[in-house]
Amino acid sequence: MSFVYKHVIIIGLDGAGNFYRNTEAPNIRKMYAEGFGTDYCVTTIPTDSAECWGGMLLGVGPKVHELTNGTIDDTPYGHRDEHPTIFRLIRDRYPDYELGSFANWIPINTRIADEDIGITKDTGPDDVLTDKICDYIKAKKPNFLLIHLGSMDDAGHAYGYDTEPYLKELTVNDGYVGKIRGAIKEAGIGDDALVIATTDHGGIGRGHGGPTEQEKYVFFAAVGKTVVKGSDAAVRTIDLPAIVAHALGVPADPLWESRVPEGLFDQ
């Protein structure tokens, strides 16, 4: 029987691409060294936030979930019946689990993460939000926590992706990764936790949405006791729900495009 984790924590750095390679980023690199890492995780196309985060939480592509940046604020929750979020699948399997969604980008909490199943939610600027996240981890020891930090994408749009100001913001975000991992350790849940750091898309110039290598290839790092170090697993961002479900012992949705990448786990 596969090992079942008690905690899965996803650290999402919006707009990060795989540009950490162009700066020190010690905390992201530490995750690569301690577990699995790839610079060539393939994201959803169009490479926009609603399309990508929709796939990362619903396990289906944008042609199915129909979320777009232009319409997400007005999209009802109705499609949840046919394509439940990973939050809902976890809640159905574990009624008492602590679920959290701390997101800088508000539509994740208001239009993707379910409203009616007891998810602890919060939002705010990345620095304030990270402090709240760390306090929450230490106090509640969440079984599943989605984290979304947005300042890197803001910097990409303002100054250009992979520019000096953008990479400075990447360094700040890398510090948030370290701080959150420190809270996980302090909470005493590290041995039973799968921790993933990744992103929804990259960028080119001051935008994203297209299929260029700078937009579609992103970093993906995972640390956990069954994660295969140095694996050559081929990962897509849409695989995130299947990875989370596998880790927590939750049955996968049969309608998902999401799959557990071969070779990512040793059992």
Query: pLDDT tens, 84-127?
Result: 999 999 999 999 999 999 999 999 999 899 998 999 999 999 99
Beta-carbon contacts of 185 under 8 Å, excluding residues fewer than 6 positions away, are: none
Which amino acid would we find at residue 10? I
Given pLDDT bands bounded at 50, 70 and 90, which one contains residue 80?
Answer: low
What percentage of residues in the chain have a pLDDT greater than 70? 97
Given pLDDT bands bounded at 50, 70 and 90, which one contains residue 79?
Answer: low
Dist. CA 238–CA 176, nearest whole Å: 24
Mean of pLDDT values over 184-200: 98
Q: What is the pLDDT of residue 246?
A: 97
pLDDT at 14 over 90: yes
Q: What is the pLDDT of residue 69?
A: 83
Q: What is the pLDDT of residue 74?
A: 74
Contact 198, 242 (CB under 8 A): no
Here the tokens at position 248 are: 């927590």
Dist. CA 99–CA 92, nearest whole Å: 12
Beta-carbon contacts of 249 under 8 Å, excluding residues fewer than 6 positions away, are: 2, 4, 93
Q: What is the pLDDT of residue 81?
A: 65
Dist. CA 144–CA 119, nearest whole Å: 10
Q: In what order do the strands lie in the sheet with 217-223?
A: 36-42, 217-223, 193-198, 7-13, 144-149, 99-103, 119-122
Mean of pLDDT values over 66-70: 85
pLDDT at 1 over 80: no
Given pLDDT bands bounded at 50, 70 and 90, which one contains residue 6?
Answer: very high
Per the CATH hierarchy, to which homologous superfamily does domain 7-248 belong? Alkaline Phosphatase, subunit A (3.40.720.10)
pLDDT at 76 over 90: no
Dist. CA 38–CA 221, nearest whole Å: 7
Dist. CA 229–CA 82, nearest whole Å: 36
Q: Where are the domains of the chain?
A: 7-248
What percentage of residues in the chain have a pLDDT greater than 90? 89
Q: What is the pLDDT of residue 82?
A: 78
Nearest to 162 by CA among 128, 118, 116, 213: 213
Nearest to 108 by CA among 178, 193, 200: 200
Contact 222, 38 (CB under 8 A): no
Maximum separation of any 2 CA atoms in the chain, in Å: 49
Nearest to 156 by CA among 40, 11, 16, 12: 16
* Confidence (pTM): 0.96
For helices 86-93 and 49-58, what crossing angle results, to 10°? 20
Dist. CA 261–CA 264, nearest whole Å: 6
Report the run of H or E that residue 196 belongs to, with start and end: strand 193-198
Given pLDDT bands bounded at 50, 70 and 90, which one contains residue 83?
Answer: confident
Of 64-68, 77-81, 133-137, 184-188, which gets the smallest average pLDDT?
77-81
Q: Is the dihedral of CA 195, 64, 94, 128 positive or negative?
A: positive
Nearest to 197 by CA among 171, 218, 225: 218
| Report for 62-66, 83-87, 155-159: range of highest mean pLDDT | 155-159
